[in-house]
A and B are shown apart, each in its own frame.
Chain A
C-alpha cells in the first residue's frame, strides 16, 4: 500500500511538467484548429513527414527522371542538354536482346542478365534455406532462443562488413583456403573464378539476409494452431504429407511475402557483392546497381544521363514487384477477415 502510494506520487511528479506542457500547447492548437478545422490539423501534423518525404524521396525521383532526358558529363542540370528519350534508346539499342554483345550498351545487358540470374537463384535459395531454418527453429530444440539469435545476427551487420568478412574467408590467402590446405585439400582461388564468384555473391547475400526471412516464416509457423498437427497425427498423416498439405498451405501468405520482399532486395543487390568481388572476374558478377553506379559516378567517361535512365528502368521493375506485394498484402487481409 505504502509503496504504491509512493510510486504513484513519483509518477505524479514526473507527469506534472508533461501535463503543464500539454496545457501550454493546448491553447495555440485550439486556436489553430478553430482557424483550419480538423482536416487542417491533420495536414499540420503530416506536414513535417511530407516535407522530408518530398525533399529526400519525391524530389530526387523527379530530378533523376529529368537527368535521364539529358546528356553530357556536366553535373548540374542547368549545364546539361536536353536529348529526350535518347538515353533510353541507347540502352535499348540491341541487335538481339538475348545476346548482350550485339547491344550498344552491352554492359547494361550483361548486368541485367546477371541480375536476373542472381535474382532467380538467390531468391529460390533464400526461400528454401529460410524455410528449412524456420522449420528447424520451430521445433522443441535445446537453446532455441540462442539459435534464433544466431541466425538473425547477420541481418544486423552492415553489408560492407559482411562483404569484408567473406572476402577474408574466400580470398586467395583467406581462411577457407587455409583450412583446405591444412586438411590436405587443394586450395582454390574462389573469387577470381567466374562460377564460384557468382556462387559466392549468392551465398553471402543469402547468409546475410536469411535471418530476416526466417523470422517472418517462423512467425507464420507459430501462428498455425498446434492442434491441427495433433489432428493430423490422429489421422495418421506422414511427415511429408503434413508439410505439403498443412504447413505449406497455411504458411503461404508469409511465404509469398518472403518471396516478394526477397525479390525486391535481390534486384537491388549491390554492397555485399561490390565489396566481395567488385563485379569480377570480368563482368561475371556485375549487377544492375553496380552498373548504374559505375556509369554515373565511377568511370572515367561518366554519363549521369545514361545511369539515370538505367535506374528508371530498374525502378519500373521494382514498382511492378512492389505492386505485386501490395496486392498480396491486400489479399491476405481479406483472407484474414474471412477467418
Chain B
C-alpha cells in the first residue's frame, strides 16, 4: 500500500515561509509529479514526505497512519536523489545491499533482491564496479536500484533526470514510466520540466511560491488551466495571453474585445463581472490559424516566420505591442513586416478574470 495524505502542511525557515497550507491526497499506486519553477518548494515538500525534514505545522499520513513525527527510516519510503548520492567507496552491489543489511535481512534474500533489481534495471554487468567508474545514466539506474531493492511503499524522486543529457533523459523517462507500470508502487516525482510532468504523471501538482496552484491529470491541466500561472506553465510553446476588456458579461457567455479588431464571445459564467473591466484571453499557439474565418480574429504584424516544414512558427506583434506566437499548419509565405490576420475558435480559448482566475463554465 502507498496511500499518502498531506493536511495543512507548512514549512518555515525562521520567518520565511516556504510552504503554505499544502493539502494533497495521493492514491495507492499513483504517479504524482510535483512541478513548478525553481525555488517554489518542491524539494522541500518531498523532504517533508521523506522524513528527512519535519513540517512546522500539519499532518502527514501514510496508509491512514499519522507519520508526521516518524523518522525517515521508519516510513518505508525510498528516495532517489538528484545527485544520486551513491556511496562512492562501495561497489554497486554494496550500495544496493547497504539499506537491507541495516534491517538485518538474511544474506540470501539480499542477494536475491539485488539480482532481481539488477536484471530489471540492466545493471548486472557492473555490480562490482564503484560508482566512480560508471556513466551518469548508469549511476542513475543504480540510484533507482537502491530504492527498488528496499521494496518501499512509495518512491520519492527529486529531479532524477536533471543530470543526464537530453537524449538519455528521454529514454530514462520511458524506463521510469515502465518501471512504474511494472511495480505499481506509488511514485512522487519532482521536476521543473513540464514535458517530463506531462509524459510521466497520472496527476500533476503545479506549485508556485510554496502553494499548490492546481492538481489534475495532465490533459485536464492543459485543457482547463485554473489560472494564468498554470496556463503559462503547462504546454509548450507557451500559451498566448492577450489583455482584453469585458464587453458584455452574462451567466452563459462573456464577450471580450482586444487590440487588432479582436472581439469574441466565450461560453463562460461572467455574472460576477462588470463590463469594461480587464481580463485575459489565453489562446495556445497551436489553436491559431491564418485568415478571418473563425469565431474570432485579429490582425498583427509579422516579426519572424520560422518554417519547420510540416508547420510554420509565426512570431507577430499586435497593434498594442502584444507578442503573439502561432504554430501554423503547413508552409506559409508571409514575410516579416507584413500584416497578418489570425483566426481562432471560441472553444479553444481560455478566459481569466482580473485576478488571473479562470472563469467558471457557463451556468446551466
Residues of A participating in the B interface, judged by any CB pair closer than 8 Å: 225, 227-228, 230-238, 241, 245-246, 249-250, 338-339
Contact = CB atoms under 8 A, between A and B. Distances in A.
Main secondary structure of the interface of A (DSSP, over half): helix
A92 to B, nearest CB: 44
B72 A245 contact: no
B85 A228 contact: yes
A7 B33 CA distance: 52
List of 3 A-B pairs having minimum Cβ-Cβ separation, nearest first: A236-B73, A235-B99, A227-B85
- Size bracket, chain B contacts: 20 to 34
A234 B79 contact: yes
A235 B98 contact: yes
A225 B85 contact: yes
A182 B102 CA distance: 51
B102 A234 contact: no
7 contacts: A228-B85, A230-B85, A231-B79, A231-B86, A233-B71, A234-B78, A236-B72
B99 A250 contact: no
Interface in B47-77: 50-52, 71-74, 77
B132 interface: yes
Contacts of B89: 249-250
Contact of B99 (A236, A238, A339): A236
Interface of B: 50-52, 71-74, 77-79, 81, 83, 85-89, 98-99, 102-103, 130, 132-133, 146, 150
Contacts of A339: 88, 132
Contacts of A338: 130, 132-133
Contacts of B85: 225, 227-228, 230-231
Given A250-B89, A338-B133, A339-B88, A233 B73 contact: yes
Contacts of B86: 231
Contact of B83 (A227, A234, A235): A227
Nearest to B78: A234
A77 B250 CA distance: 115
B362 to A, nearest CB: 49
A126 B252 CA distance: 82
B102 A241 contact: yes
A231 B72 CA distance: 10
